[in-house]
Amino acid sequence: MKFQIEEFIRSVLPRDFERSISVSAPDVRSHGDYSTNVAFALAKYLKKSPREVAEELVLKIKEQGLRIRENLFSRVEVDGGGFINFWVSEEVLFERLQEVLRKSKKWGREDAGKSKKIRVEYFQPNVAKVPHVGHMRSAVIGDALKRIFLSQGYKTVSDTHIGDWGTQFGILLYAWKGLLEEEQEEIKKNPVRGLNDLYVAEGKNIEADPERRERGKGEFAKLERGDKENREIWKWMVRVSMIEFQEIMSRLGLLNFEEERPESVYENAMPSLVSRALKRGIALKKDGAVIVGLEDAGLGEAVLLKSDGASTYLLRDLATLEYWDKKKLEKNLYVVDVRQSHHFQQLFEAGKRLEIPLAVKSEHVVFGFMSLPEGAMSTRKGNVIGLLDILDEMEIRALEVIEKKNPKLKNKEKVARAVGVGALKYFDLSHHPKSNIVFDKEKALSFEGNTGPYLQYAYVRLRSVLRKVISCKLKVK
């Protein structure tokens, strides 16, 4: 309905007015079912007052509405300095409801994407680091996009592209090897959290003794060369991390991933990519590193290999881009937070210069980051709240509410899990993707207002009403 109204408004605007149209549902019901501030933008264009423009638009909307179909809106009014409020007629709403009931699960499904393939990369946690509530945004938004594309007929391939390669693993390997056997055994009791804490501790050690970073780089160089001991330790880190990642994906109710191709999969593809870039003059060597100069595009220097020979995120992502280029994709989407915008700008530009066709079909789906009330989370700072911990806490608190409201309810634990997870996911999706969010557990779990638990409660009540209607054999006309 919202998009139909946007198109309807567009039809009465000047043809050369190219600004986007924003239609939203007001928080206050007295302001209508939908509202738009388009008159404010158009007023600057026409050099008139927003109120005057809004009144002119309302007249056109009413005329156009009567020509297209009678009673499309029950009311269209100007409010305040130039807002236009819409009340959709009950007749239209009832017809839409009938359509939804008639089509049931097929409602909203189309075949616009038939025979087209889209890759969506999301939920990219790092091995040996605790996935935190910030990772949830990528997982939840990416999963929602996948469901939307599937409903529109696209063949959708989802990929986690887990971070399991890079200098940080050399730093972690160096720290691990320096532990006593009993300290290693203690970490193995809760391996991901233990490795995460070890990495944080080693970061503090490096601040006191920078030489430790160089030793860590040396361990990663050994890992890249295939050192047997380092490979075995690294494989264990990957294995225990994947167990936790799979649990998170299951508890969040994410659709299964068609692909789980971590960074290390592209290890053997990177040397030839660097050689090609150097041979074509796209890249050059500078102070021992290999870089692509993107200054002419305003993107600075893009590093492929560091001065110690270690690969970068950019090189690994270029190898990934080249792999997927062979899969005949219509679109290639990366659901990653806004802090990586520069990285993706460099990736797509470097990909174009390396003549990887998929670079022009790729897009960074930007979202803001989620932080704690006291500030942004950081593994290095050690102020990370694990996503599993959050899920556990949300379920416990949901169970407490259920015990209070309906102590005789069957399957209370199962319901609490659904309420807890629903609260988290809805708290995320109810915000604009590009907005930064301060995670508020109390608000997320509230049974009042625009929250997941409120919607779930409303759904249950509606189902109860329908059951009573059916039991009374009433018919809705």
pLDDT tens digits for range 196-247: 999 999 999 999 999 999 999 999 999 989 999 999 999 999 999 999 999 9
Instruction: Give residue 359's pLDDT.
Output: 98
- pLDDT grade, residue 384 (50/70/90)? low
Q: What is the pLDDT of residue 285?
A: 96
Tokens describing residue 290:
């290999």
2-93 and 124-371, same CATH topology? no
Arithmetic mean of pLDDT over the chain? 91
Segment 311-328 shows an average pLDDT of: 96
Average pLDDT, stretch 395-420?
A: 91
Domain 2-93 falls under CATH 3.30.1360.70? yes
What percent of the chain shows pLDDT beyond 70?
Answer: 95
| pLDDT bracket for residue 301 (50, 70, 90) | very high
- Residues 458-468 have a mean pLDDT of 89
In this predicted model, what pLDDT tens digit does every residue of 238-262 receive, in sequence order? 999 999 999 999 999 999 999 999 9
For the CA atoms of 420, 109, 337, 425, what is the dihedral angle to 10 degrees? -10
What angle, 0 to 180 degrees and rounded to 10, lies between the N-to-C axes of helices 228-251 and 387-405? Answer: 20
Give the max Cα distance, the chain.
82
CA–CA distances in Å: residue 225 to residues 220, 228, 272, 315, 460 = 9, 9, 16, 17, 58
- Residue 129 pLDDT greater than 60, yes or no: yes
**Beta-sheet strands, E only, within 403-468:** 437-438
Q: What is the CATH number of domain 124-371?
A: 3.40.50.620
Residue 381 pLDDT: 59
Spans of all domains in the chain: 2-93, 124-371, 387-471
